[in-house]
Structure 1
Amino acid sequence: MKILDVLDKDAIFIDLKSQDKKGVIEEMVTPLARMAGVKHDVLARVLMERERLGSTGIGGGVGIPHGKLKGLKSLILGLGLSKNGVNFESIDGKPTHIFFLLVTPENSIDIHLKLLAHISGILKNELFRERLLNAGDIGAVLDIIRQEDDAA
């Protein structure tokens, strides 16, 4: 599965305004909840409950908040970029700049794990991360992801 198969341009933030974990999740959930036809607070709660189990800030400036939601019809994915970085309680203790937010239907374990693995795999590429952070607009972000998706 390619990222662009599921990432809608309306769920891309090239300049997140939030300064903390809860704020980032709240900001990114807004268009995703609308697209999925679920309540904003329900979606945010699922993600924050997952964060209480352990931070999804995986280090290297990357966070992948994710969760499963009962009744969701198909997976939803968002991307957020923060130039200044956010304290996301990352495992390396450093600010997080790139966020992929993933929510899948409750019973779709296989697709959830495959997409998480794909996203975390391409985010290991430092040049890819730098290019994303320096993208000037959503079109550039989509082009960068397309190139990486095609190479994977």
Structure 2
Amino acid sequence: MRSGATAVYELVSASGARVACVVFLLLSVGLAAGLYAVLVRASGSRSVFREEPLVRGSVATVASLLLFSLLFGTVYATLLSGFYRVELNEEEVLLHYLFPSHTVTLQRMELAEVEGVALLPGRWSLRLHTHQGATYPSALAQEPVAFQSWRALNAYLEGGRGDVTPAELR
């Protein structure tokens, strides 16, 4: 067990992120299956003068997999990847990830700065930078939660910057 106080900042609800993952997964699978069905049906309707199908099953499969990868990959990369919770201990920072579920532990001395980045209107991502050049982005969070976490991380790294204004996050 670690000694000292621990501060925990949750940027995204873990249960909400899991529900979003399932919804986007099902939506992506459904659209890809729909594309496959349309392409296979189109290939089954042959004309009298044509003996070859318009679209082969392998082409329909590849097109469906590409659509699934594009849809779900984009959602994962923009909304679901990154840490969803940050835990500040005396000398360590723990970054908790959902997809895949794991925790990254960084020493306080490794961290160089915390950056707040606006990605969508009202949605922000935090980026932790280390002195070695590594970057750890957070999942997409609402602006007030991201600002509160950004402020706490800056105070943790810089020793008490409690007078930060929302304009500094932008």
TM-score range, shorter chain: under 0.3
TM-score normalised according to structure 1 size: 0.25
Relative to the length of structure 2, the TM-score reads 0.23
Which structure is higher in RCO with an 8 Å CA cutoff and minimum separation 6? 1
